[in-house]
Chain A
């Protein structure tokens, strides 16, 4: 069996070759991992850019940090089946774990100071597949690309005079969001807001046809405008307290709509609304039944990654869902590592 060894008489060349192969492989690995190009926009830099001045709150989400959990259901009316074969769009009732939140990375953010409010949903279908979505009360996103999102964070936190003006000059798309933020009425309740997915996704129907869509939920409650000064003067947790009190009386509902893009509509740019009059289907009703404090609630340890989608839905050319998936994974990894800093308050709370 033994092979006679014929050792190389002049091994130096071979050793140099071996060193070059190993060194080259290590360098290629380091390059792929981004360690040789710190100027690349990594998810670490994007997530770090969200950080409030005192640093992120350990154990908490790196953005939309303050929030409150809820449980409820989504009653699909079946109309959505025309656009997607997702199991939770077939007529039926499906369980929901959700989260009301503020679009801010400050844990102690007073409820009255957040211009944008968020609603996160995880809807589970009968086959166990999930549809996760994080939606905003704004009708458009401030920026059209991920680089611009990062630049916006830098400008907002910049101490340099004129940083925001310079940003707006370079990213005129922010005017759409700015117009809404400056003129839309504030409301005194999570239940009186519409929430919009903003990002576009592709729905696939039973025939295999794709449809570029965005979805929203519209409140059953009639929004009552409240002057900004009055909102600012409310107690710091008034939105959480209000929704608890409202739910004690009766469930709170929204109607979910799905809007299909027309030819040429900006699918890849969440800063641009699609024209009025696009085909819009009402696909069901979201009902919130109970509220739980986040520390012990079921939404706490969920990663509302918008690319967690059931069969019949997938990301589109919109670059944000991929960027969010990457950033939320890092945020989740960080807060998981720090979970001891955010203990549960109730013994035996759901993990």
Chain B
């Protein structure tokens, strides 16, 4: 072991959430495009999974603030370090904001937020169709922004892994890779 890596819990959370969030984005755009019975099936996964992501994101942010992250390589250009930092802030922001927006917009619609048979979340806003309109638009637009940031993040991770080969990818890799042997 030469490089510092994220702790196993942090790595586990990262890959678990990556799968959940990607699924959520595909479920989101898939469900709003369909009028078939799949719509209800997808919506009924979207809501509880979104709230699960909120809980996991808060846990993960707590861990990140307490345990920090391995330092980026000293040789990384300043612009890339800044981009890395900003994109990570955006990712944390979005994984907390998106579920809150979903919850808030359904509250403003006055629409019961049923996660599971009989498990209902309380509204976090009073019914207000104007607020609903803004929140609904934000949930949609930030959803697409989220996907774009994830693509950029994925591209950068692969760039570190395949082109720079500087240990940045290995720090979050689910299992120790060759670079560290």
Taking Cβ atoms with an 8 Å cutoff, the residues of A that contact B are 1-8, 11, 14-15, 17-18, 21-22, 25-26, 28-29, 32-34, 40-43, 46, 128-130, 146, 301-303, 305, 307-308, 311, 315, 319, 321-323, 325-327, 329-330, 332-333, 335-337, 339, 351
Contacts and interface: CB of A to CB of B under 8 A. Distances in A.
Contacts of B128: 351
Interface stretch (B49-57, B60-68, B85-93, B104-112): B104-112
B129 A7 contact: no
Query: Sorted from nearest, which 8 A-B pairs have the closest CB atoms?
Result: A3-B167, A34-B33, A33-B29, A14-B162, A336-B133, A3-B3, A5-B166, A311-B118
Contacts of A33: 29-30, 32-33
B110 A34 contact: no
Given A26-B151, A303-B111, A42 B165 contact: no
A28 B70 CA distance: 33
A15 B30 CA distance: 30
Contacts of A25: 151, 154
A28 B109 CA distance: 31
A315 B40 contact: yes
A9 to B, nearest CB: 10
A339 B40 contact: no
B33 A29 contact: no
24 contacts: A1-B70, A5-B164, A5-B167, A15-B163, A18-B158, A21-B154, A25-B151, A26-B151, A32-B29, A34-B33, A42-B35, A43-B34, A128-B112, A129-B120, A301-B129, A303-B109, A322-B37, A322-B39, A323-B39, A326-B32, A327-B35, A336-B109, A336-B132, A339-B130
A311 B115 CA distance: 12
B159 A18 contact: yes
A321 B33 CA distance: 16
B179 interface: yes
B110 A302 contact: yes
B2 to A, nearest CB: 6
B17 interface: no
Interface in B123-181: 126-130, 132-133, 136-137, 147, 151, 154-155, 158-159, 162-167, 170, 179-180
Contacts of B33: 32-34, 40, 42-43
B77 interface: no
Contacts of A14: 158, 162-163
Interface size band for B: 35 or more
Contacts of A311: 117-118
Contacts of B158: 14, 17-18, 21
Contact of B133 (A1, A18, A29, A339): A339
A41 B71 CA distance: 50
B25 interface: yes
B78 interface: no
A41 B38 CA distance: 13
A324 to B, nearest CB: 9
B20 interface: no
Nearest to B43: A325
Given A28-B26, A129-B120, 16 more contacts: A3-B2, A3-B170, A5-B73, A5-B166, A7-B165, A18-B162, A22-B151, A29-B147, A32-B33, A42-B34, A303-B110, A333-B133, A335-B129, A337-B137, A339-B130, A351-B126
Contact of B120 (A15, A22, A128, A351): A128
A2 B137 CA distance: 44
Contacts of A319: 36-37
A128 B121 CA distance: 11
Nearest to B44: A307
B164 to A, nearest CB: 6
Interface in B4-61: 4, 25-26, 29-40, 43
Nearest to B180: A3
Contact of B163 (A8, A41, A305, A336): A8
